[in-house]
Amino acid sequence: MSRVRLRLAGGISFASQLIGHLFGILFAGLVSRRLTEREFGAWAYIGTILGYPVALTDLFSTWVYRDAAYGRRILGHVLLLNTPILLAASLIYYAASGPASSLAGIERDIFLLGLAVLPPLYLATAVTDMAKGYIPQHVGLASILFETAKLALGIMLVAHLRLELAGVFTALALAYTLQLGFLLFSVKPLYSSQIDSATIKRWLRGSVIKLITVVSGYLSQLDIILLTAITAETLATGYWQAALLVALMVKSTGSLTSGLTQRLLSGGGRRDLEKSFNFTMTLAAPATLGAIILAGDILHAFRPAYSEAWPAATLLALSAFTATLTSFYSSTVFASDRFDLKEDVTIGDMARSRVSLLWRIGLYTSAAYAATSAAALLLIRSVGGGVIETITAVAVVHLAVNVARLLIHRRLAARYSPYLLSLSSGVPYLSAATSMSIVVYAARSLIDPRAPTLAQTIPPLLALLGIGAASYFTILWFMSKQFRELLRDIVTFLKQYLGR
């Protein structure tokens, strides 16, 4: 049986994302201060290329975590199917290293550093899909382990030994290896030496349909490759990556929905959906407005030059918030379809399912994003636009596509789900977050976090974040009954948990 605890899974997942974001800022600041803008862009470019073979784990991900949620012993199946794919992907990565490095104007030896990261990253991603269904709270703990190890190794290899990009990729490879080991230990109860051929056949049949999501993922990752290819360098890519890191503050709040789909699959209902929404909005609203207000300051922490990218960072933060709202509607549609409970699932069943419908929508919107981004980049280049104009144009497209996804998924939820989420319940959180923004903006006139060094930048930046958090939660306490109930539930849970 799956060990899903809705708020615990979401809380740990968010805590891991929050720690990951804070440590990620430190790691990115550490790296960006040691690397040039083009080297920082090269890191983002290589990471994107690595995402292409890793995306192949998505061929089986849906069936893996659904089977894990049902408590089926499938660890051996996961390793059996993914190991040959990993070997083939590594060979293809090596073979393509020449053209890919030439496209970005970087040395091939630097591009090949990604081969050290690919195996642990690929396997950790594959096992994570299973852990999400079986024990999602451990996915968050694994992420905390990864981020902590990454930062510690980064300090040693990049800051002290000054290994530059070689140190960055070595730190990532070792950190992913630690994460993989923890995840394998967590899902060990799902291991069986007996391989059920029927399960493998069902996954293989499903992988045909899942090719839609793989292609969709490939298209959605084209922005960095298009930026690099059309500009013929990694300078704009470095600025884009910095802006994306600001949006991660907002994107991390989406992990609060972790466990919602699994809970709905196992019999949850409207109450679970509303709890998850209120829980998520409690932190998504202030994170979004906080990222907008402090975008320039956070970018300055990475590298003073990056502060000019604040318009793109602001748009990407709004886009990430929109994606978080979309996840609630997609979860209800996804969980409303139980077509795969029978053993003799056919490709036709999969193709007609609502799950497949969601994948097709993802494919169409990703294709629209890639095509529109390419057109915008070519247009900006034709008029002689600079780096900031270039990445801002792509950010506008990013936000527009995510708004379209939100509207489409909401309509699907209204059609297929027995319960439709009302966004009006998020008004108190947005109101409190707006008040918080005013307080932070006023405090920003007294506290300037833009200092010459990273060590001097972090304390005032954290002070502004602390002022924002204190004002937001104080205001929300008086405005929202749901928030007061949430705090009581958390206190009760902690008393019960610590009293064991």
What is the rounded CA–CA span in Å between residue 318 and residue 323?
9
- Give 473's DSSP letter: H
The pLDDT confidence band at residue 420, using thresholds 50, 70 and 90, is confident
Give whole-number Cα distances, 191 to 132, 136, 179, 257, in Å: 15, 17, 18, 27
Give whole-number Cα distances, 497 to 8, 206, 490, 491, in Å: 11, 40, 10, 10
CA atoms within 13 A on the CB side of 140: 27
Residue 371 three-state SS: helix
Continuous H helices in 195-266? 197-220, 222-231, 235-251, 260-265
Residue where the block lists tokens 């794919």:
85
Those residues whose C-beta lies under 8 Å from the C-beta of residue 483, and which sit 6 or more positions away, are: 278, 282, 428, 429, 476, 477
The pLDDT confidence band at residue 14, using thresholds 50, 70 and 90, is low
What is the rounded CA–CA span in Å between residue 404 and residue 146?
34
pLDDT one-digit tens code per residue, 280-290: 899 999 999 99
What is the rounded CA–CA span in Å between residue 384 and residue 395?
18
206 and 351 Cβ atoms separated by less than 8 Å: no
Q: What is the mean pLDDT of residues 324-349?
A: 75
Give the H/E segment covering residue 366.
Answer: helix 354-382
Of 56-60, 178-182, 235-239, 265-269, the least confident = 265-269
Q: What is the mean pLDDT of residues 178-200?
A: 92
Q: How many CB atoms lie within 10 A of CB 214?
A: 19
What is the rounded CA–CA span in Å between residue 334 and residue 265?
9
The pLDDT confidence band at residue 239, using thresholds 50, 70 and 90, is very high
CA atoms within 13 A on the CB side of 16: 23
Answer with the residue of higher pLDDT: 389 or 277: 389
Q: What is the mean pLDDT of residues 161-189?
A: 95
Those residues whose C-beta lies under 8 Å from the C-beta of residue 171, and which sit 6 or more positions away, are: 150, 153, 154, 156, 157, 158
Predicted pLDDT of residue 393:
98
Give whole-number Cα distances, 323 to 224, 317, 330, 336, 400, in Å: 19, 10, 10, 20, 11
* Dihedral angle sign, alpha carbons of residues 438, 440, 445, 446: positive
Query: Per-residue pLDDT for 476 more than 80?
Result: yes
Q: What is the mean pLDDT of residues 413-426?
A: 81
The pLDDT confidence band at residue 182, using thresholds 50, 70 and 90, is very high
Answer with the residue of higher pLDDT: 6 or 144: 144
pTM of the model: 0.85
- Spell out the domain ranges in the chain: 6-421, 425-500
- Share the mean pLDDT of the chain: 88
Predicted pLDDT of residue 344:
64
What is the rounded CA–CA span in Å between residue 153 and residue 144?
14
Share of the chain above pLDDT 90, in %: 58
Query: Per-residue pLDDT for 334 more than 60?
Result: yes
Which residue, among 232, 196, 229, has the nearest Cα to 81 in the 3D structure?
A: 196
Predicted pLDDT of residue 4:
45
User: Hey, what amino acid is at 404?
Assistant: A
Predicted pLDDT of residue 2:
45
482 and 424 Cβ atoms separated by less than 8 Å: no
The pLDDT confidence band at residue 337, using thresholds 50, 70 and 90, is confident
Give whole-number Cα distances, 96 to 35, 104, 108, 322, 366, in Å: 25, 13, 10, 35, 24
- Give 385's DSSP letter: -
Those residues whose C-beta lies under 8 Å from the C-beta of residue 334, and which sit 6 or more positions away, are: 261, 264, 354, 355, 358
What is the rounded CA–CA span in Å between residue 297 and residue 307?
7
User: Hey, what amino acid is at 476?
Assistant: L
User: Hey, what amino acid is at 213?
Assistant: T
Answer with the residue of higher pLDDT: 143 or 477: 477
Those residues whose C-beta lies under 8 Å from the C-beta of residue 2, and which sit 6 or more positions away, are: 68, 69, 70, 71, 133, 134, 135, 262, 266
